[in-house]
Structure 1
Amino acid sequence: MSLFLAPIHTWLFNKIKLFEEIEQDIINQFPLILTQDTLKAIYDDYGYPMGDEPIESLIDTSNIHGWLQTSINRAEQRQAAIIKVLNDQVKEAADTVVAVYYNKGKEKAIERNETFTDPNQIFVTLNDYLLEGMPCDRVNEVIEQDDQQVIWLTNRCVHQDNWISEGMDVGYYYNFRAAFIKGFVEGNTDKFTYQYEKEPKQKHTIMRA
């Protein structure tokens, strides 16, 4: 247990908040389906989003790691529940959600306004945004890296249980995440491109265009 906040805790907290921003963007796309009553039922199960409250007023300082892990699980389960509602009622809902993720990635790249000269710089920076469990989970493995491209594999799934709990295929989330990465890369520069291959292992490539 930890009794004090460290920069890594705030870093992870901000990634959860971004995940909740995306949740709200999704909700805004489907106001007639994701009504207040529908959302209340989901919030009753998984809690309300954290909103604009600072980490200091929310976190359990006697169990910081546990609080962060619980917050990640709730955010992912809540979003999976939202996608389940949408899929049940809108045939192409997932396509709209992909666009939401892409646009959010692009928005964050523009906000960052950082000039990347090396593909690995983009990969490292993405770790400030992508919610991939706790830092100790070590989800991604870089297998090739030079000044032309960086290639990494997603070797461990830390999302599946949260999506399966809602009867959802975690593949939806991975498609959404790939859209965010693509938006981030394309929102920053036209000098690099991003490719995602789902099979046989999740393979990601950022390469010089």
Structure 2
Amino acid sequence: MSAFLAPIHFMVYGKNQLQEQLIAAIADKAVAEGWAAANDVEGYVRRESQPLDAVIDLANIHGWLSANIEDVEHRLAALVTELLFGHPERQEVLEAVAYDEGKKQEADEGLEAGEAFQYLMTHLVDGMPCDGVNMMRDQSADTFRWDKMADVHSRYWTEVEGSPAVYKALRDKFTAGMLDKSGYEVYSSNDVNYVLQKKEMTA
């Protein structure tokens, strides 16, 4: 079966699975904190451990992956929005969960900025590769700049009457966890133009 699939398809599925793990970690935290019963949150979770070639529809590879992205994005938005309804103070706890999940995928030290960017792009859900969401502007050994050409996330949050800003906060924490050991950080002043660069060392 795998002969019909390209490495990029496995990469997309792998990114989706990481977001599945984040959803599961958030659900587990909600139960542990007493915010919800296990039965109430389990419907948001897909604990799928099978490899891509065991679950995908080979007659519709692109369509299956696209639907998989939409499903995982929608469930993250719905679960988090449900947990935060009337309890905005919980967001800080969920951000900590996102950071810890990012740490589990920590990038190595010694990467150049372009390598660190590519590492992020193989771990963060940003639509299908053909969507062309991220466009490089320039790079050096210690800095990588790019533009987000489309917002492929907000609609999932507005559809469930949630806040896209919450998604950004969770994603930022997940990213920070991944980059913690690498010495890099990502920032943006407008959610369009992004910079990844070495952290400033403090005395």
TM-score > 0.5, shorter chain as reference: yes
In structure 2, the residue matched to 1:148 is 142
Stretch deviating more after TM superposition (88-97 or 163-172) = 88-97
The separation in 1 between residues aligned to 2:5 and 2:142, in whole angstroms, is 38
Assess if the C-alpha contact under 8 Å between 2:113 and 2:197 holds in 1: yes
SS in 2 for 1:8: helix
The separation in 1 between residues aligned to 2:193 and 2:95, in whole angstroms, is 17
Assess if the C-alpha contact under 8 Å between 2:24 and 2:47 holds in 1: no
Are positions 1:27 and 2:44 aligned together? Answer: no
The separation in 2 between residues aligned to 1:103 and 1:200, in whole angstroms, is 23
Are positions 1:193 and 2:184 aligned together? Answer: yes
SS in 2 for 1:158: coil
The separation in 1 between residues aligned to 2:115 and 2:176, in whole angstroms, is 15
Q: Letter of the aligned partner of 2:10 in structure 1?
A: T
Q: Give how far 1:169 is off.
A: 2.0
What are the Cα deviations for residues 12-63 of structure 1, in whole angstroms up to 9, with x where unaligned? Answer: 11111110001111112110233233225x54xxxx5152122222111111
What are the Cα deviations for residues 151-199 of structure 1, in whole angstroms up to 9, with x where unaligned? Answer: 222221111222221111222112211112211111x23xx33142242
In structure 1, the residue matched to 2:64 is 67
In structure 2, the residue matched to 1:38 is 40
SS in 1 for 2:104: helix
The separation in 1 between residues aligned to 2:160 and 2:96, in whole angstroms, is 22
In structure 1, the residue matched to 2:196 is 205
In structure 1, the residue matched to 2:171 is 177
Assess if the C-alpha contact under 8 Å between 1:149 and 1:208 holds in 2: no
- 5+ residue gaps, structure 1: none
Query: Percent of aligned pairs with the same residue?
Result: 27
1:98 pairs with 91, 95, 99, which one? Answer: 95
**Root-mean-square deviation (CA), in Å?**
2.1
Question: Judging changes above 3 Å, is the alpha-carbon distance between structure 1 residues 86 and 204 closer, same or farther for their aligned structure 2 residues?
Answer: farther
